[in-house]
Amino acid sequence: MGNPAYVEEIDGLRSLVYDNIQVSGYPVFMLAYFSQNGLEGGTYYFHTFSLDELMKCYTDVQKELLERYGPTVLRDGIIREMRPYETSWNLPGGYVYLKVNTRQNEPVTLWYSSPAFTRRLTGS
């Protein structure tokens, strides 16, 4: 991925920020968290600019993740257009979460956290 655009260390976690990298054919902004044990978590923010691009990106990435990790519980609310589209996998190696909120014009976001990082974030 080359050199990060920004590096910061807080509470034993090293945060690396990358800009203009490619994931699944889309340009992304990425934030990754590393500890002494390796990758603990990361977030990809996909650069998409229209509603059509948002939904195409979400469905393309979701399809790849479904092929890789298998079926999952898809959570689309009762009033689907009022909620973000979400897909998540709770895997032995970590938690993977994909979402897009078309109402708020938020980017397609893909999150990964290791079991240790998830426990750290949730306090459990």
pLDDT in tens, 72-106: 865 544 444 445 588 888 889 999 999 988 777 78
Nearest Cα to 45, choosing from 109, 88, 113? 109
φ and ψ at residue 11, rounded to 5 degrees: 50, 40
The strand ranges marked E within the chain are 6-10, 13-23, 26-35, 38-46, 74-75, 85-91, 94-100, 109-113
- pTM for this one? 0.83
Residue ranges of the chain whose pLDDT lies below 70: 1, 73-84
Q: How far apart are CA 30 and CA 33, in angstroms?
A: 10
pLDDT of 73 reads 65
pLDDT score, position 108? 93
